């Protein structure tokens, strides 16, 4: 499972898929943050996190749909399935790689409130946003498991 995880993480960052996913996630989150918080002059980051979950339904399939289709296209699926790994280990390795890439984007998103939302008001940003970020990650787990 760890070898599959390392291979998938290496594939995400040697191809453009990982970079495009992170750039699209951060671009959409940043644009929503700008329109909702900076232009409206209020310090409620919960609205941003609530609205950005819609983008996840578009961005997450860019990560997950290619996981096994790339193996079939490159004809490495037979090699993968005849390896001593179980099918569950292969699936879990690929799942944790996709989840790790999403978690990287989520951790970068946590920095958005620190970049200037405190200037807009004295909202309890970390106390309000951490539970919502956890719920966003649970939503991702549910979507990835489908």
Quick check: pTM over 0.85?
no
Q: What is the pLDDT of residues 60-81, one digit of tens each?
A: 887 888 888 888 888 888 887 8
**Is 11 exposed, middle or buried (CB count within 10 Å of its CB: 0-12, 13-18, 19+)?**
middle
Within 10 A of 98 (CB to CB), how many other CB atoms are there?
24
Give 121's DSSP letter: -
8 A C-beta contact, residue 5 and residue 97: yes
Q: What is the pLDDT of residues 29-60, one digit of tens each?
A: 888 877 777 677 666 677 777 777 788 788 88
Give the span between the Cα atoms of 20 and 43, in whole angstroms. 29
DSSP string, 6-49: HHHHHHHHHSSHHHHHHHHHHHHHHHHHIIIIITTT---HHHHH
* Start-to-end C-alpha separation, the chain: 20
Radius of gyration of the chain (CA): 18
């Amino acid at each position: 499972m760890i070898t599959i995880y390392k291979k998938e993480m290496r594939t995400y960052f040697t191809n453009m898929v990982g970079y495009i996913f992170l750039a699209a996630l951060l671009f959409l989150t940043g644009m929503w943050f700008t329109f909702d918080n900076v232009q409206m002059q209020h310090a409620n980051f919960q609205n941003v996190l609530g609205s950005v979950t819609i983008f996840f339904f578009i961005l997450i399939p860019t990560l997950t749909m290619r996981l096994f289709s790339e193996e079939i296209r490159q004809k490495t699926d037979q090699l993968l399935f005849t390896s001593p790994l179980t099918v569950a280990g292969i699936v879990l390795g690929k799942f944790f790689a996709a989840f790790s890439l999403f978690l990287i984007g989520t951790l970068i998103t946590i920095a958005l409130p620190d970049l200037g939302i405190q200037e807009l008001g004295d909202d309890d940003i970390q106390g309000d946003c951490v539970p919502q970020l956890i719920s966003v990650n649970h939503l991702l787990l549910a979507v990835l498991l489908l």
